[in-house]
């Protein structure tokens, strides 16, 4: 039963989050990354499930759950580089350290699931069948 409604519910959650963000809701503003990406991931998974009959969340739940800590770990590598490069900083994040670290985990945990779900969506709808890239004639030219 839930496999029929989790997509529309995710889309509704995303739309409500957008509305609350633009109405100036501070809580949604501080946690918007989560309110945007998690519904996106579930909505895209639902689209893939409807198109192919299988999906990462519904049929490979263990793989999906394993992606979350790996995603966080990989993104923390980029954050470590940023300590030295100072290429970005976060605005209006939760000031309390435990909540902030929990926010990092659930935010950074969306990176790999978001990439894999988007890839599966593109494959399911045949978008990548037509995609072509020229072969590299000699990779040594790159460095």
In tens, the pLDDT along 77-94 reads 999 999 999 998 888 787
Does residue 140 fall inside a structural domain? no
Does residue 134 fall inside a structural domain? no
Query: Which pair of structure tokens corresponds to residue 88?
Result: 């970005």
DSSP letters of 18-87?
HHHHHTT-HHHHHTHHHHHHHHHHHHHHHHHHHHHS--HHHH-HHHHHHHHHHHHHHHHHHHHHHHHH--
pLDDT at position 11: 98
Does residue 108 fall inside a structural domain? yes
Q: Is the pLDDT of residue 97 over 90?
A: no
86: phi then psi, degrees, rounded to nearest 5: 55, 45
Does residue 142 fall inside a structural domain? no
Does residue 24 fall inside a structural domain? yes
Does residue 77 fall inside a structural domain? yes
pLDDT in tens, 117-139: 999 999 999 998 877 877 777 76
Does residue 118 fall inside a structural domain? yes
CA–CA dist 143, 138 (Å, integer):
10
Structural domain range at position 18: 2-127
Which of 107, 99, 121 lies closest to 36 in space, CA to CA? 107
Does residue 63 fall inside a structural domain? yes
Q: What is the mean pLDDT of residues 14-30?
A: 96
């Amino acid at each position: 039963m839930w496999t029929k409604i989790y997509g529309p519910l995710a889309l509704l959650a995303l739309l409500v989050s957008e509305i609350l963000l633009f109405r100036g809701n501070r809580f949604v503003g501080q946690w918007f990354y989560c309110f945007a990406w998690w519904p996106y991931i579930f909505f895209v998974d639902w689209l893939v499930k409807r198109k192919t009959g299988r999906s990462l969340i519904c049929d490979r739940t263990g793989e999906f759950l394993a992606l979350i800590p790996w995603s966080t770990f990989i993104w923390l590598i980029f954050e470590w580089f940023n300590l030295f490069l100072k290429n970005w900083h976060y605005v209006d994040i939760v000031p309390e350290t435990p909540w902030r670290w929990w926010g990092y985990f659930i935010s950074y945990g969306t990176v790999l699931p978001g990439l894999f779900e988007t890839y599966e969506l593109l494959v399911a709808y045949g978008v990548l069948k037509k995609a072509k890239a020229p072969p590299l004639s000699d990779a040594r030219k790159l460095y």
